[in-house]
Chain A
Amino acid sequence: MTTPQSQISTHLQTNKSLHVSPTWLHSFITSSTTLQRNTPLSALTQTALFRILASDFRDSLTTSTPSSLLPADIFDPTVQERRLPGPVAVQVLDIEDIGTSLWSQVEAIERVARGEAIRGREIVRTVNVGEEGEDGGVARGPDTAAGGTSPGPHRLILQDAAGTRAVGVEVRRVSGVALNRMAIGAKMVLRNVTVARGMVLLTPECVTLLGGKIEALDQAWREARKAKLLARITAGPNGQNGQ
Chain B
Amino acid sequence: MPVPRVLCVAEKPAIAKAVAQHLSGGSFRTIAIQGNQYVKNYVFEFNFGAPWGYCSVTMTSVIGHLTSLDFERQYKAWLSCPPAALFEAPVLETVDHDKVAIAANIQEQAQGSKALFIWTDCDREGEHIGTEIRKQAKEGNPRILVKRARFSNTEKAHVLSAARALIELDDLQANAVAARIELDLRIGAAFTRLQTLQLKPLSAALKDTVISYGSCQFPTLGFVVDRYLRVKNFKPESFWGIKVMHSREDIKVNFLWKRVHLFDRAVVTVMLERCLKAKKAKVTKVNQKPTSKWRPLPLTTVDLQMMGSRFLRMDSQTIMKVAEGLYTKGFISYPRTETDQFDKAIDLKKLVEKQLPDGNWGQYARNLLDGAFRTPRAGRHNDQAHPPIHPICWVAPTALTADEKKVYEFVVRRFLACCSEDAKGQTSEVEIQYGDEFFHAKGLLVLERNYLDVYVYDKWESSQQLPNFQMGELFEPTEAKIFDGKTSPPNYLTEPELIGLMDANGIGTDATMAEHIAKIKERQYVAVHSRGSGRNATKELIPTRLGIALVEGYDNVFAGMPDSPSLSKPFLRKEMELRMREICAGSRTRHQVVQEGLDMYREVFVHTQRRINMLKEACRKYLNESAA
Give chain A's interface residues, CB within 8 Å of chain B.
80-81, 98-103, 107, 115-116, 120-123, 125, 127, 129-130, 134, 137, 153, 155, 169, 171-172, 196-197, 199, 201, 233-234, 236-237, 240-241
Contact = CB atoms under 8 A, between A and B. Distances in A.
A130 B265 CA distance: 46
A81 B276 CA distance: 13
A-B pairs with lowest CB-CB distance, top 5 = A121-B504, A98-B264, A122-B504, A127-B562, A237-B238
Interface stretch (B36-44, B138-146, B541-549, B564-572): B564-572
Interface in B368-418: none
B396 to A, nearest CB: 40
Given A103-B237, A169-B270, A237 B265 contact: yes
Query: In the complex, which range does the number of interface residues on chain B fall in?
Result: 20 to 34
B34 interface: no
B431 to A, nearest CB: 15
Nearest to A97: B263
Main secondary structure of the interface of B (DSSP, over half): mixed
B385 to A, nearest CB: 24
B273 A137 contact: no
A122 B505 contact: yes
Given A121-B501, A123-B505, A171-B271, A240 B264 contact: yes
Interface string B485-524: 0010000000000001100110000000000000000000
A70 B305 CA distance: 62
B239 interface: yes
Contact of A123 (B264, B500, B562, B570): B570
A196 B266 contact: no
Contact of A99 (B237, B238, B263, B562): B263
A155 B267 contact: yes
Given A120-B504, A121-B500, A171 B264 contact: no
Interface string B264-280: 11110111011001000
B262 interface: yes
9 contacts: A101-B239, A102-B263, A103-B235, A115-B565, A123-B570, A155-B267, A171-B436, A197-B269, A237-B265
A102 B267 contact: no
Given A99-B263, A122-B504, A201-B436, A107 B230 contact: yes
Nearest to B500: A121
B563 interface: yes
A80 B278 CA distance: 13
Given A98-B262, A103-B237, A240-B264, A196 B273 contact: yes
Given A171-B271, A196-B273, A125 B571 contact: yes
Given A103-B235, A122-B505, A233-B237, A98 B263 contact: yes
Given A121-B500, A196-B273, A233-B235, A98 B563 contact: no
A127 B504 CA distance: 19
Contacts of B274: 196
B459 interface: no
Contacts of B234: 103
Contacts of A81: 277
Interface in B297-312: none
A101 B263 contact: yes
Given A137-B562, A171-B436, A199 B267 contact: yes
A103, A120, A137: residue with the most chain B Cβ atoms closer than 10 Å: A103
Contacts of A237: 237-238, 265
Nearest to A240: B264
A115 B562 CA distance: 7
A125 B565 contact: yes
B73 interface: no
A199 B271 CA distance: 10
Contacts of A137: 562
A125 B230 CA distance: 19
Contact of A101 (B230, B237, B259): B237
A100 B264 CA distance: 10
Interface string B234-268: 11011100000000000000000001001111110
A98 B267 contact: yes
Contact of B273 (A123, A153, A197): A197
Given A98-B263, A98-B264, A123-B570, 11 more contacts: A80-B273, A102-B263, A116-B569, A122-B504, A123-B569, A153-B262, A169-B267, A172-B436, A199-B267, A233-B235, A236-B238
